[in-house]
A and B are shown apart, each in its own frame.
Chain A
Amino acid sequence: MYKILEKEVLAPKITKFKVLAPNVAAKAQPGHFLIVRVDEQAERIPLTIADYDRQEGSVTIIVQEVGYSSEEICKLEAGDSFLDLVGPLGEHIETENYKKVVCVAGGLGAAPLYPKAKSLSEEGTEVITILGARTKELIILEEDFAELSQQLYISTDDGSKGHQGFVTDVLKEVLEENDDIDLVITIGPMIMMKFVSELTKEYGVNTMVSLNSLMVDGTGMCGGCRVTVGGETKFACVDGPAFDGHLVDFDEQLRRQQFYSDHEKLAHGHEIGGEGCRVKAN
């Protein structure tokens, strides 16, 4: 059993948990994810390690309610436990040797992006951050990013805060103004990562995405999370989840995410509203 130390609601339907898992915290690095199972009947759900505290022995996860399982997770309170928690999984990412990096997050994507941005900043990298969401209430971790970013932009679909429109509009301006960007890291809904990658390709800027593919085991034994990267089949759970955005077949990923949409409605007992993105393993 893995005890929840703290719970905090960051935004409507977006909840942060700090969970006691000393062995996982000891090894966690930016880019790693973990898999949790709430109870005996539950699914295995992949979630990014959004932060970790080796001394306290805790890992932080941020969950958005998008379906049955994520709602069950968000019902848990401090003092409750996850039945299972396995990690750290996936390939971590290297954050050394970059001078200037743009971090582009969509909605909940800010959570998985945060440990990478934090590590880059600690390495002395100049970080420009663009946080986007449908509306201002759904912008999360703004203060955390502000602390480590040289520039921070906000973009909302409805214009309730910052730029009205998409993160790609802001990114385009940033790319126009800066010709010395080493890397763009983007995490968010698959469709957003696709458009960001298409834009940066025009500018010839290296781009890293982190895929939120469907997963079961997360250890490479089933291939449920497979993705075509540069024409080759990769498993997001062991080869990723970070990949070169210019090589990922996003249309295939978008279709694969819809595989169980009918089942999800059944599990839930009614139609699911909101955005199409599942709980994320970025």
Chain B
Amino acid sequence: MSKQTKKTKMPEQNPQQRVNNFGEVALGYSAEDAINEAKRCLQCKNPLCMQGCPVEVDIPDFIALVAEGKFEEAAKKIKEKNNLPAICGRVCPQEEQCERKCIVGIKNEPVAIGRLERFVADYARDKEEIEAVTKQDKGKVAIIGAGPAGLTAAADLAKMGYQVTIFEAFHEVGGVLTYGIPEFRLPKAIVKDEVEKIEKLGVEIKLNHVIGKIKGVDELFEEGYDAVFVGTGAGLPRFLGLEGENLNGVYSANEFLTRVNLMKAYRFPEYKTPVYIGKRVAVIGAGNVAMDAARTALRLGAEESIIVYRRAREQMPAREEEIHHAEEEGIKFKLLNNPIRILGNKEGFVTGMECIKMELGEPDQSGRRRPVPIEGSEWVMDVDTVIMAIGQSPNPILLKDAPEIETTKWGTIVAREETGQTSKAGVFAGGDTVTGAATVIEAMGAGKRAARAIDEYIKGSKK
């Protein structure tokens, strides 16, 4: 057994330096680091880590190859199951997935599976050769949305020999990988590269196609598609309905991050999309999106960037690693505070935000202690930008056109967990559009399961 009790450290840009750029924070393992870390793996006969991976990567096998220095073979091993390893290695919450189940993690820190996956994918990036799968006459599948769920389903179906077309509303692929997660966590060049490899499998991608507007689901069937996968995510921003919420300087996190990440507003005026950033920025919410927004605000030049959250530190839904990075960079936290009103000047710009202090009461239905306002504790925060990061719902455009697809009262699509089958024959769904905003890897897992179910469905219907 290895003597090293902790994960091999990954080099990072130091916080003072990195708040001034959009470069990646975590710099990745060297070959030496990777081999060293891979040797911590016990090569379990019955590997529990694999149970924690929604896309079923053969974890001990690839790690064994890394330990031997066979990095390209390791990359191939991962790619058998996971089409986006450089992305997953960076953004998966491994502490809740594979690494949570790692045996080494019982007494010591678990094996750094995510970091190893990332290393292997980065190492193999320029060396891999993708061979297009020979298209068999198995059928045509339309995928709506080029986010993690759609890309995974598309790649798996292409590998099975289907003709796959992805329809994407934006001018770039990737979904939340492109417009949501910032460059400093996930460089867009990496997303582009992994997606290009999926295209090389023979997947066709049609950009600027808003399904529900340019054509409907039924028209896709009329055009000869045998099945449709809906992976349209949860992109509809929520607001709190506060007075002053439409003042200039109040953004949804979606808008703020789309301007910066997709439209590259951080390179304005070289890129022409502007973004407004004040001196003091309040971000409402404490999930990963809130951390991304707060850290982005700092990099755009805000003097102070403050997370405002109505519960306490222990209840913050963001990944521990992201909270840690945010703290290192100087993000402030005003916990147990809830905004009640946004204040503005006569030109319509934000000048402040009235908050009320909260305390934790009895646990609610979800088991979390419910925040209760403390009467008379109102106070005004001096801010000029407010970013709402309180969650998203699925976008209703597609479903307006296809009302026969059953949805829940939250607007999510009703689909079977194991297959993604919706209430409409031949239509499958997965990812955030079914679960509400969740994680990249869960969306990929859903895409993988749906691909399998679509294969069975088409085989069945063609008999």
Binding site for B on A (CB under 8 A): 23-24, 27, 37, 41-44, 68-69, 83-89, 216-217, 219-224, 226-228, 233, 238, 252, 255-256, 258-260, 263-264, 266-267
Chain B residues whose C-beta falls within 8 Å of the C-beta of A221 in the assembled complex: 235-237, 254, 258, 395
Kindly count the residue-residue contacts between A and B in the assembled complex, taking CB atoms under 8 Å apart: 114
Contact for B215 among A23, A42, A84, CB less than 8 A: A23
Contact for A69 among B246, B251, B254, B272, CB less than 8 A: B272
Q: Does B269 contact A (CB under 8 A)?
A: yes
Q: CA A256 – CA B274 in complex, angstroms?
A: 14
Given contacts A216-B258, A217-B170, A222-B258, contact A43 B272 (CB under 8 A): yes
Q: CB distance A264 to B239 under 8 Å?
A: no
Q: Does B354 contact A (CB under 8 A)?
A: no
Chain A residues whose C-beta falls within 8 Å of the C-beta of B263 in the assembled complex: 43-44, 216
Q: CB distance B271 to A84 under 8 Å?
A: no
Chain A residues whose C-beta falls within 8 Å of the C-beta of B255 in the assembled complex: 216, 222-224
* B442 CB, min distance to chain A CBs, angstroms: 20
Chain B residues whose C-beta falls within 8 Å of the C-beta of A41 in the assembled complex: 264, 270-272
Given contacts A88-B213, A233-B239, contact A219 B169 (CB under 8 A): yes
Interface SS majority for chain B: loop
Q: Does B397 contact A (CB under 8 A)?
A: yes
Q: CA A147 – CA B411 in complex, angstroms?
A: 46
Q: Does B460 contact A (CB under 8 A)?
A: no
Q: CB distance A222 to B269 under 8 Å?
A: no
Q: Does B252 contact A (CB under 8 A)?
A: yes
Q: CB distance A222 to B213 under 8 Å?
A: no
Q: Does B347 contact A (CB under 8 A)?
A: yes
Q: Does B99 contact A (CB under 8 A)?
A: no
With both beta carbons as reference points, the residue of chain B lying nearest to A84 in the complex is identified as B171
Chain A residues whose C-beta falls within 8 Å of the C-beta of B235 in the assembled complex: 219-221
Q: Does B13 contact A (CB under 8 A)?
A: no
Chain A residues whose C-beta falls within 8 Å of the C-beta of B248 in the assembled complex: 255-256, 258-259
Q: Does B210 contact A (CB under 8 A)?
A: yes
Q: CB distance A223 to B237 under 8 Å?
A: yes
Q: CB distance A222 to B237 under 8 Å?
A: yes
Chain B residues whose C-beta falls within 8 Å of the C-beta of A87 in the assembled complex: 210, 213-214
Chain B residues whose C-beta falls within 8 Å of the C-beta of A88 in the assembled complex: 213-214
Q: CA A69 – CA B171 in complex, angstroms?
A: 17
Q: CA A42 – CA B215 in complex, angstroms?
A: 26
Q: CA A261 – CA B212 in complex, angstroms?
A: 34
* A212 CB, min distance to chain B CBs, angstroms: 16
Q: CB distance B273 to A216 under 8 Å?
A: yes
Q: CA A44 – CA B236 in complex, angstroms?
A: 19
Q: CB distance B208 to A263 under 8 Å?
A: no
* B390 CB, min distance to chain A CBs, angstroms: 12
1/0 per position for B253-295, CB-CB distance to A under 8 A?
0110011000110001111111010000000000000000000
